[in-house]
Amino acid sequence: MNRISVRTPAKINLTLDILKKREDGYHEISMVMQTVDLCDELEFEEREIGIEIECSNHEIPCDSGNLVYKAANALKDEFGIQKGIYIKINKKIPLEAGLAGGSANAAGTLLALKKMWRIEATDDRLNEIAKSIGADVPYCTKGGTMLAQGIGEKLTKLKDLPDYHVVLVKPEFSISTAWAYNNVDIKNIKQHPDNEAVSRAIEYGDRAVIEKNLGNVFEEAAFKKYPELAEIKETLIKLGAKGSLMSGSGPTMYGLFDDEAKAQLACEHFRGIYDEVYKAKTCHQLIKE
């Protein structure tokens, strides 16, 4: 097998809670994550030597700064792989959006190259390698509905979230993950999301409780700096979303719809205002070709 293609899905956060800051600067978190079928496309082709990357988005580095490079290089180092690889990235997931697009690409690379290079690795070892690339990468190697704890690497599979149409609205500005973590006043978080209630509601497929309990502790500081985020949330609800939240470190706002026609109308409304508006569906399988 000398060619593989994979599609790597974005994630949204149904909840995101910060518990404490650790000595190493990272934060202990607890969050429920869900993949949606807004995907980047990655193609892998065997080469004699080196790691060569081509990307449809020229803002993204194609050298060792690319998370895909880091993933390929980590596997080469860890397992003494001598072969080279050419990776083509067709970017669809917006950048610095809170949707873990780069982490998803890195996870897709780990899974594709593990297969191509016939690497035998335990789940634990692969999880360690994934974590060394980024805190969201372990989750992205699994996808679906998961509770993620630790810095994001301790994963508990939950029952599949009931299906939703998801409208994603990414305003023009970006929010860096480091900024988001640095701007949460951990001791004075007004409302911690109730991860237990959400996990239980997912277990019972109780949509109303899930929708009522969406929560992200990054919203407060982000809404203060960018009041338009709160307006997007309000409009999503007005247009029929059953729940709305900022994903991850933001700034993407999403709405969960049970009615596709309403989701479509909401999409059309926001497309008149913003360039990066997407209609997706929740999904549970990592989509491979």
Ligand X SMILES: C[C@](O)(CO)[C@H](O)COP(=O)(O)OP(=O)(O)OC[C@H]1O[C@@H](n2ccc(N)nc2=O)[C@H](O)[C@@H]1O
Tell me whether residue 11 is one of the annotated catalytic residues: yes
Using omega within 30 degrees of 0 as the cis cutoff, is the peptide bond preceding 138 cis?
no
Based on the shown chain and the rule CB under 6 A, indicate whether residue 153 belongs to the binding site for ligand X.
no
Q: Is 249 exposed, middle or buried (0-12, 13-18, 19+ CB in 10 A)?
A: buried
Residue 120 assigned ligand-binding role: no
Task: Tell which one of 249, 277, 278, 282 touches ligand ATP (CB under 6 A).
Answer: 249
Cβ closer to ligand X: 57 or 132?
132
- What span, in angstroms and rounded, lies between the C-alpha atoms of 85 and 98? 28
Number of residues that bind ligand X (CB under 6 A): 18
Asked whether residue 107 is marked as a ligand-binding residue, the answer is no
Q: Residues with Cβ < 8 Å from 112, sequence gap 6 or more? A: 4, 6, 42, 44
Q: Binding residue for ligand ATP (CB under 6 A) from 62, 81, 95, 119?
A: 95
The single residue among 6, 75, 85, 100 that binds ligand ATP, judged by CB under 6 A, is 100
| CB-nearer residue toward ligand ATP: 137 or 201 | 137
**51/67 with CB nearer ligand ATP:** 67
201 labelled ligand-binding: no
148's tokens: 């993620």
Q: Which is nearer to ligand X, 25 or 227 (CB)?
A: 25
Closer residue to ligand X (CB): 101 or 266? 101
Active site residue 185: no
**Chain residues 131-150 in contact with ligand ATP, contact rule CB under 6 A:** 136
* Continuous H helices in 123-259: 123-133, 137-140, 177-182, 195-204, 207-212, 219-225, 228-238
Stretch that binds ligand X, among 54-62, 116-124, 129-137, 207-215 (CB under 6 A): 129-137
Please say whether the beta carbons of 167 and 262 come within 8 A: no
Q: Phi, psi (5° rounding) for residue 174?
A: -120, 160
Does residue 193 have a known ligand-binding role?
no
CB atoms within 10 A of CB 211: 19
Query: Pairing state of beta strands 27-47 and 84-90?
Result: antiparallel
H or E element: which one contains 76? helix 67-79
Q: What residues between 62 and 81 interact with ligand ATP by CB under 6 A? A: 65-68
Q: Which residues bind ligand ATP (CB under 6 A)?
A: 60-61, 65-68, 89, 95-103, 105, 136, 177, 248-249
Q: Which residues bind ligand X (CB under 6 A)?
A: 13, 16, 25-27, 29, 100, 103, 134-136, 151-152, 177-178, 181, 248-249
